[in-house]
Chains A and B, each alone.
Chain A
Amino acid sequence: MIVISKFIIGYLVLQGALLSLIAAFGVLRLPDAYTRNHAASKSATLGVISILLGVFLYFLIIEGQTNSRIILGIIFVFLTSPVAGHLISRAAYNKGVPLWKGSVQDDLKHHREKTNQKAKG
Chain B
Amino acid sequence: MKTNDVILQTVTKIVLFIIVLFSIYLFFAGHNTPGGGFVGGLMASGAIVLLLLAFDVKTVLNILPINYINLAGVGLFIAVGFGAGSFLVGEPFLSHAFDYFELPLLGKTELTTATIFDLGVYLVVIGVTMTIIQTIGETE
CA distance A86 to B8 in the complex (A): 9
Let me know if A79 and B22 touch, CB within 8 A. Answer: no
Query: In the complex, how many angstroms separate the beta carbon of B82 from the nearest chain A beta carbon?
Result: 29
Query: In the complex, how many angstroms separate the beta carbon of A81 from the nearest chain B beta carbon?
Result: 11
Size bracket of the B interface:
10 to 19
CA distance A75 to B22 in the complex (A): 13
Query: In the complex, how many angstroms separate the beta carbon of B11 from the nearest chain A beta carbon?
Result: 5
Binding site of B, secondary structure by majority: helix, strand, loop or mixed? helix
Within 8 A of B (CB), among A68-85: 69, 72, 75-76, 79-80, 83
Partner of A80 from the list B15, B22, B25 (CB cut-off 8 Å) is: B15
Let me know if B7 and A76 touch, CB within 8 A. Answer: no
Q: B-contacting residues of A (Cβ < 8 Å)?
A: 69, 72, 75-76, 79-80, 83, 86-87, 94
Let me know if A83 and B7 touch, CB within 8 A. Answer: yes
Let me know if A86 and B18 touch, CB within 8 A. Answer: no
Let me know if A87 and B8 touch, CB within 8 A. Answer: yes
Contacts A83-B7, A83-B8 given; indicate if A72 touches B14 (C-beta within 8 A): no
Let me know if B7 and A79 touch, CB within 8 A. Answer: no
Query: In the complex, how many angstroms separate the beta carbon of B43 from the nearest chain A beta carbon?
Result: 12
Chain A residues within 8 Å of B3, by CB: 94
Query: In the complex, how many angstroms separate the beta carbon of B18 from the nearest chain A beta carbon?
Result: 6
Let me know if B18 and A83 touch, CB within 8 A. Answer: no
A-B residue pairs in contact (CB < 8 Å), sample of 12? A69-B25, A72-B18, A72-B22, A75-B18, A79-B14, A79-B15, A80-B11, A83-B7, A83-B11, A87-B7, A87-B8, A94-B3
